Amino acid sequence: MRAGMKPAITFLICLALTGAPSGSPQAQAQPQAARSLPDFTDLVRKQGPAVVNIITTREVGPRAGLPPQLQEDPFFDFFRRFIPELPERGMPGPRQAQGVGSGFIISEDGYILTNAHVVADASEVTVRMADAKREFTARVVGADEQTDIALLKVEETGLPVATLGKAADVEPGQWVAAIGSPFGFANTITAGIVSATDRALPAGTYVPFIQTDVAVNPGNSGGPLLNLAGEVVGINSMIYSRTGGFMGVSFAIPIDVALDVARQLRETGRVTRGRLGIGIQHLTRELAQSFGLDTTEGVVVVSVEPGSPAQKAGLQVGDVILEFNGQPIEQPNELPRLVAQAKPGSPGKLVVWRQGKRETIAATVGEMPETAAVGATKPAAEPGLQPGRLGLSVRELTPQERKQLGVDYGLRVMDVEKTAARSTILPGDVIVGVDRERFQSLEEFNKLMEGRKPGEKLALLVRRGEATLFVPMQVG
């Protein structure tokens, strides 16, 4: 879940220094052991003043009160002091709720970075300095939900400023520290190590997250992640938890991503990103073999939006994108980031694998809309099974289903036999193509299957809900 919000995902060293002789192994090991445990006191002293506590007020609708037995508990009011989201006793109507988060000052004239979810829907934002003696009303300059970055401004000068570092210098195993306001306890520091870099998360398409084991809890959101030099290398944003509390896995947004977003918010009030208008899929070993590739680097194009920059450039379903503007695509999450970073209207050079050979395609990068509506389609469950060569029981889509899915023809998978159990195809999937070829009837599908030898590998183009993907199969 995101730190600072309700849980949404159900995801000492003790050194005994004795008076051993100076030549003993214990004495020789002491300096190395001492060096492995850094002292963060100087870091807190220098960077702590630039970290702020952010208190938000938002209007919320009526909500049912707590059970009577809890409202009558003498500790109820005590807990309310630390958990502002608890309702008042028997509050019947609209009310105001407070939230707590963190942030840090990036300029002496009052610009502050935090998370977008910290200030989302807030009617009032208050910034409290680390000394707890000064408070300022903040203005939200802008917020970007895609990266979870918000830029605030307070009308004050001469403020302490955090020292900014480079996320590119962060490596797994390095010591890092977080300063923030977990559960409202301002200017709290916790420490740990970098667990991994360049993490891709389902909700973070454009962010190569830094994963750490630093203790991060609700209220830490928006606070800085610092290296041993006291430089901000990230913004603490999310935790993975099955309980709602910290479980050793937290994620930070790289500072360079945050600063680029902040720059755009400050200059224009919005963030622009490039787009091609395609859907992509990870290139597995089985899919690579079916396309005649000897590498799994790259991504497979599974859909091309009509009228999009990709369609105008001639990209096709089944193309494997290997490079974008000279950058090889080694991981699936790299292409969306590279395209998003490209300026709308700029040229985009793609190297693709098509029909067994490499081709270069020139595209003009479009602009990603700020919001996109995504509908939902429920699969029908009508009977009428037909056996298939691939160990699948399928049926033709009804006219209504074709209209709902926006396809001319398709075969819905009704059952997966044991011979196909190793495939990732699922009941409910709709087969709309074989390798790169679409089919418009059951006869055309059977024709595409003719001549396939037992053990031969192919890729089925499948609609799964709103997603389109290739599923590798083996002819039985």
Active-site amino acid positions: 117, 148, 221
Dist. CA 127–CA 186, nearest whole Å? 12
Task: Dump strand ranges (E) for 30-158.
Answer: 51-60, 95-105, 111-114, 124-128, 135-144, 149-153
* Side chain identity, residue 366: G
Burial of 455 (0-12, 13-18, 19+ CB in 10 A): exposed
C-beta of residue 436 within 8 angstroms of C-beta of residue 470: no
**Half-sphere CA count of 191, side-chain side, radius 13 A:** 15
Which of 416, 422, 420, 409 lies closest to 448 in space, CA to CA? 409
Phi, psi of 422 (to 5 degrees): -75, -15
Q: Is 363 helix (H, G, I), strand (E, B) or coil?
A: strand
Q: Residue 212: which H helix or E strand, with range?
A: strand 204-212
For residues 331-342, one letter each, b for 16 or more C-beta atoms within 10 angstroms of the residue's C-beta and e for the rest, the string is ebbbbbbbbbeb
Which of 472, 462, 450 lies closest to 389 in space, CA to CA? 450
For residues 204-215, one letter each, b for 16 or more C-beta atoms within 10 angstroms of the residue's C-beta and e for the rest, the string is bebbbbbbbbbb
Dist. CA 138–CA 154, nearest whole Å? 5
Longest Cα–Cα distance in the chain: 87
C-beta of residue 235 within 8 angstroms of C-beta of residue 207: no
Burial of 450 (0-12, 13-18, 19+ CB in 10 A): exposed
